[in-house]
Amino acid sequence: MNVVLIDSGGANIGSVRYALERLGVEAPLTADADLIRGADRVILPGVGAAGAAMAMLRDRGLVEVIRGLQQPLLGICLGMQLLFEASEEGGVPCLGLLPGKVTRMRGGEGIRIPHMGWNALTPLAPHPLLDGIDAGAQAYFVHGYCVPVTTDTLATCTHGQTFAAVVGRGNRFGAQFHPERSAGTGARLLRNFLSERLA
């Protein structure tokens, strides 16, 4: 299995690599368009601001490369948000691979934003990416923006509001939580992403 991590400047890239290594997969970090196009699986990690991440992808000539990928692609945290059309965070246009707009999370009494910590997942329908991940499985989140629930939502989470925790359309997938920090739940999602069932 040839897996690559797109170098988008995210601070979680090292921990994603270690999580894959625990599954027996060596995934180079790269901004090389040919390596990305030639991979069996592509992961777009990200931590930080949407505007800065999109600017880095543009500067490296990777926006159209990512848009043209046919193999399974997984966006993690900010990487998932970048798959959508736009983000309220700075009003920045994103990759447009999935329909919808990333919105600022709503706070409230007892609801702290950013959303940080463990929370339960609610799968909406069976899907190979969620095999072995049951309702109530715990995942680790760190984010202040989220994607509203749409027809592409595979699993939700609730923190003051219900939002998309896992999304998928065709071969394009995203996890708002950090699988590399989510113990067994995260390892299972990554293992499912690497499965031939998603090819």
User: What pLDDT does residue 8 have?
Assistant: 81
The mean pLDDT value for 54-61 works out to 94
Going by C-alpha positions, the residue among 67, 45, 48 that lies closest to residue 58 is 67
Please give the helix or strand (H or E) that residue 185 lies within, else none.
helix 183-194
User: What pLDDT does residue 12 have?
Assistant: 60
pLDDT tens, residue by residue, 3-51: 999 998 765 678 899 999 999 999 999 999 999 999 999 999 987 899 9
Which among 64, 77, 127, 159 is annotated as catalytic?
A: 77
40 vs 38: CA distance, rounded Å: 7
User: What pLDDT does residue 13 have?
Assistant: 77
Pairwise pLDDT comparison (132 vs 46), residue with the higher score: 132
Tell whether the model's pLDDT for residue 164 goes beyond 80.
yes
| pLDDT classification of 123: cutoffs 50, 70, 90 | very high
Q: Which of 28-32, 92-96, 106-110 has the lowest mean pLDDT?
A: 106-110
> Is 178 annotated as catalytic?
yes
> Is 127 annotated as catalytic?
no
Question: What is the rounded average pLDDT for all residues in the chain?
Answer: 95
> Is 180 annotated as catalytic?
yes
User: What pLDDT does residue 112 have?
Assistant: 94
42 vs 60: CA distance, rounded Å: 16
User: What pLDDT does residue 10 have?
Assistant: 61
Report domain extents, the chain: 3-198
Which among 115, 143, 159, 178 is annotated as catalytic?
A: 178
User: What pLDDT does residue 199 have?
Assistant: 67
pLDDT tens, residue by residue, 182-195: 999 999 999 999 99
Which of the listed CATH numbers 3.40.50.880, 3.30.379.10, 3.40.50.720, 3.30.365.10 matches domain 3-198?
3.40.50.880
pLDDT tens, residue by residue, 145-161: 999 999 999 999 999 99
73 vs 71: CA distance, rounded Å: 6
Residue 113 CB partners (closer than 8 Å, separation 6+): 105, 106, 107, 144, 160
Please give the helix or strand (H or E) that residue 119 lies within, else none.
strand 115-120
Percentage, residues of the chain above pLDDT 70: 98
Gyration radius from the chain CA atoms:
15
Which among 94, 115, 180, 196 is annotated as catalytic?
A: 180
User: What pLDDT does residue 108 have?
Assistant: 82
